[in-house]
Structure 1
């Protein structure tokens, strides 16, 4: 009896791990405008509205810099959008279980250069233990000095 219970638990854990890695992530559902989203009522996201930080560089340069930072992470891939559009959505997965976080970035022209709107959120769960805010802060630290 104990052996069957253990086997059932192992199968359930493997099934859960497979679901986390294989659950559908369709671009249009996640590729949103960060300036237009309503923040979820769960503490598993980070949100930066455009105009909060302004960079003294052209929008296309800022979009390319963000993409370089995102793609430097080996567990991050582009899901939707493009650098040319200045609107990109990335999937960033956790190291061990592969939990997906979705990070949408929109670069907005500004009279002094360009600004960012970013919405980083967990696909599963209620809490992300601060991962999305830490990711956003880390990406911002790697960008050129803002005004």
Structure 2
């Protein structure tokens, strides 16, 4: 009986340490601006992808705002203000003057990082939100872009 209790205790201790280690890694893993502050791939906006609508995807979401919504650089400046007013969001890299900004937004409970990059292009503002860890974001990137769009 003592042996069983000891084995269960060691197993529980191992699981707690593994859990804390994973949590620390997710929260403390460095974010390299060169990896995340990149131009959203053109393939995301294939023929037929709508303008001015959030398009959810697995682990991501996209939004492209047409120039009819405003001057793309002005839209980026407004989006920067909206994003910086959002909870758990900080600017990783870029600026309005550079024409591209990437923000990190962390989930409330675990602190999982999601990256959102917005880039000025001649025909509008292109925005790509994606997760870093896992496969599914459970719709949070699309929800964030929808919220930001409503506040522009």
What range is the shorter-chain TM-score in? 0.7 to 0.9
Q: Is the 8 A contact 2:44 2:62 kept in 1?
A: no
Change in CA separation of 1:84 and 1:25 when aligned onto 2, cut-off 3 Å? same
Q: Which runs of 5+ in 2 are unaligned?
A: 1-6, 46-56
Corresponding residue of 1:31: 37
Higher relative contact order (CA 8 A, sep 6+): 1
Equivalent residue, structure 2, for 1:44:
59
- Note the C-alpha offset of 1:64: 1.4
Asked if structure 2 preserves the Cα contact closer than 8 Å seen for 1:34 and 1:48, the reply is no
Q: Is the 8 A contact 2:116 2:127 kept in 1?
A: yes
**C-alpha deviation, 1:70, in angstroms:** 0.6
Please identify which structure carries the higher helix content: 2
| 1:114-147 deviation line (CA, Å, top 9, x unaligned) | x21011000000101001111111111111xxxx
Residues 52-79 of structure 1, C-alpha deviations (whole Å, 9 max, x = no match): 5344433332121100111002311111
| 2:73–2:99 CA contact under 8 A, matched in 1 | yes
Verify: 1:11 aligned to 2:17, yes or no. yes
Q: How many residues align?
A: 135
Aligned equivalents of 1:88, 1:105: Cα separation in 2: 6
Are the counterparts in 2 of residues 34 and 47 from structure 1 also a CA contact under 8 Å?
A: no
> Which residue is 1:96 aligned to?
109
User: Cα offset for 1:82?
Assistant: 0.6
Distance between the aligned counterparts of 2:87 and 2:63, measured in 1? 24
Matched, 1:84 2:90: no
Distance 2:72 2:44 in 1: 25
Question: What CA RMSD, in Å, does the superposition of the two structures yield over aligned residues?
Answer: 1.9
Q: Could you list the runs of 4 or more consecutive aligned residues of structure 1 that deviate by over 2 angstroms after TM superposition?
A: 35-39, 52-61, 107-110
Distance 1:134 1:105 in 2: 16
